[in-house]
Amino acid sequence: MKAIVEIAAFWILPLALLIEYQFWQSISWATPGFIFYVIAVPALAAYIIVATGAGWLKLWKFNLKYTVGKVPIQIGLVYSSVINFLLLIFAGLLSPPSSISLTVLTAMLIAISGAVLGSLYDVALVHYRFLEVYIRPFYKRENTIKIVAAYGPWFFGLMGLAAGLSVKFGEYLLIETNHAISLGMVIAVGTLIIYTPFLFHFLFIIEHKRHKAESRNKVGGGAAEITPTQSDRI
């Protein structure tokens, strides 16, 4: 069963992007530039988020052989596949013309759906130990559901919310406006829209760890090294 979960979670899901690409092509208002945007931006943002959280800060870890800098080589495509699945479900809300109410509604629906699907995905990964998340429930050896429930809903909900806003941003600039806009620039800004809330979270963690280190130094009179094990209690 573990092998089946690994194949489905890390290899079949990325391949689903090929099917989703075909669905996007069948939507009359979806231009080639927008289709590229909607697939590339969630993938790029996911790679940066995972590279920061798992690769640099070591807040979680993937127990896989195919990683680069502790980042699974296909993780961005996995996230993009799930986000695009949700976007296609709500494609009717994405279609031009844009409005504030539709933008908020789309983002909220993708946030809620993303929180559910993302948490279910991580339940399988944590259960079969493909993923270790260094938070309190993990160190207290609590069950898989409690571990994922401690971070999954807000993490994936936030990603869904940011992705929804980013996609509406891309749709407006790439489809609704008549101005000549660099696709690369729109992709860069769209990626930043998704990454920014996670960046603030990571900065908060860094500052929290620094404060804890200073407190230990004052109490113990010596330097204290901050490890992933210590940083869980955030």
pLDDT for 10-22, tens place per residue? Answer: 999 999 999 999 9
Is residue 217, in this structure, part of any structural domain at all? no
Residue 67, beta-bridge partner list: 72
Question: Average pLDDT of 69-82?
Answer: 96
- Contact in structure between 201 and 181 (CB atoms under 8 Å): no
Residue 40 Cα distances to 13, 24, 76, 167, 187, angstroms: 15, 13, 9, 11, 8
Radius of gyration of the chain (CA): 19
Question: Average pLDDT of 160-172?
Answer: 96
Is residue 40, in this structure, part of any structural domain at all? yes
Distance (Å, whole) CA 116 – CA 121? 9
In the prediction, which pLDDT does 147 show?
97
Is residue 219, in this structure, part of any structural domain at all? no
Q: Which residue segment(s) compose the domain that 32 sits in?
A: 2-211+225-231
In the prediction, which pLDDT does 101 show?
93
Is residue 216, in this structure, part of any structural domain at all? no
Is residue 218, in this structure, part of any structural domain at all? no
Distance (Å, whole) CA 105 – CA 121? 24
Residue 134 confidence (pLDDT) above 50: yes
Taking the model in full, what pTM does it have?
0.89
Is residue 47, in this structure, part of any structural domain at all? yes
Question: Average pLDDT of 180-207?
Answer: 94
Question: Average pLDDT of 105-132?
Answer: 97
Peptide bond into 97 cis (omega under 30): yes
pLDDT cut 70: percent of the chain above it: 93
Residue 138 confidence (pLDDT) above 90: yes
Kindly report the average pLDDT of the chain as a whole number.
92
Q: Residue 62: pLDDT band by 50, 70, 90 thresholds?
A: very high
Angle of helix 32-50 relative to helix 152-171, nearest 10 degrees? Answer: 150
- Contact in structure between 175 and 193 (CB atoms under 8 Å): no
Is residue 161, in this structure, part of any structural domain at all? yes
Distance (Å, whole) CA 103 – CA 61? 34
Question: Average pLDDT of 38-56?
Answer: 97
Is residue 160, in this structure, part of any structural domain at all? yes
In the prediction, which pLDDT does 220 show?
66
Number of domains in the chain: 1
Residue 161 confidence (pLDDT) above 90: yes
Residue 223 confidence (pLDDT) above 60: no
Of 81, 80, 90, 92, the C-alpha closest to 110 is 90
